[in-house]
């Protein structure tokens, strides 16, 4: 699964254009205990066979669904888009980066939740970062 998520986010970073806003994803085991709130009425996904193209298409400044985090089940099915993700702060985590933003912090803290397998972000400047259990396990700048 980890390799599939890396490939997904790297492909999105490589294919992104100038209007790319970045994105955050959460891969979860059980969403019932994950602290989320929809940013729009139509944020549940019933079917999307091409997750990569779909996430790329909504991660543009002109798309209303570009904000928030997008959620994939443990079988990597896209289930929720554009949700506010508000995990609790975890004291004592080592934060490796400086000048980071809210999406990075939500991803690192959210990766500590028991029902979350991993979190990941693609920054507007095409950096891909993955987190598991509060640890940055992967970082790559895409040129």
Domain borders along the chain are: 2-141
* Residue 47 in this model has a pLDDT that exceeds 70: no
- In total, the chain counts a number of residues equal to 143
Does the domain at 2-141 match CATH 3.40.47.10? Answer given as no
Distances (CA, A) of 82 to 2, 69, 85, 93, 101: 22, 5, 9, 26, 17
User: DSSP of 114-130, one letter per residue?
Assistant: TTEEEEEEE-TT-EEEE
| Distance between CA atoms of residues 23 and 125, nearest Å | 11
pLDDT, mean of residues 86-90:
95
pLDDT, mean of residues 59-87:
93
Distances (CA, A) of 39 to 7, 9, 42: 27, 22, 9
pLDDT confidence bin for 44, thresholds 50/70/90: low
pLDDT confidence bin for 8, thresholds 50/70/90: very high
Diameter of the chain measured on Cα atoms: 39
Contact 63, 54 (CB under 8 A): no
């Amino acid at each position: 699964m980890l390799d599939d998520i890396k490939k997904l986010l790297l492909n999105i970073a490589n294919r992104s254009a100038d209007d790319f806003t970045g994105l955050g994803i959460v891969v979860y085991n059980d969403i019932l205990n994950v602290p989320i709130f929809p940013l729009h009425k139509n944020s549940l996904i019933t079917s999307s066979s091409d997750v990569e193209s779909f996430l790329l298409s909504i991660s543009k400044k002109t798309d209303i669904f570009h904000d928030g985090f997008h959620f994939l089940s443990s079988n990597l099915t896209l289930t929720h888009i554009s949700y506010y993700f508000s995990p609790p702060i975890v004291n004592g985590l080592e934060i490796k980066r400086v000048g980071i933003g809210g999406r990075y912090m939500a991803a690192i803290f959210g990766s500590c939740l028991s029902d979350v397998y991993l979190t990941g972000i693609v920054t507007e400047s095409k950096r891909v970062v993955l987190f598991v259990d509060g640890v940055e396990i992967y970082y790559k700048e895409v040129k």
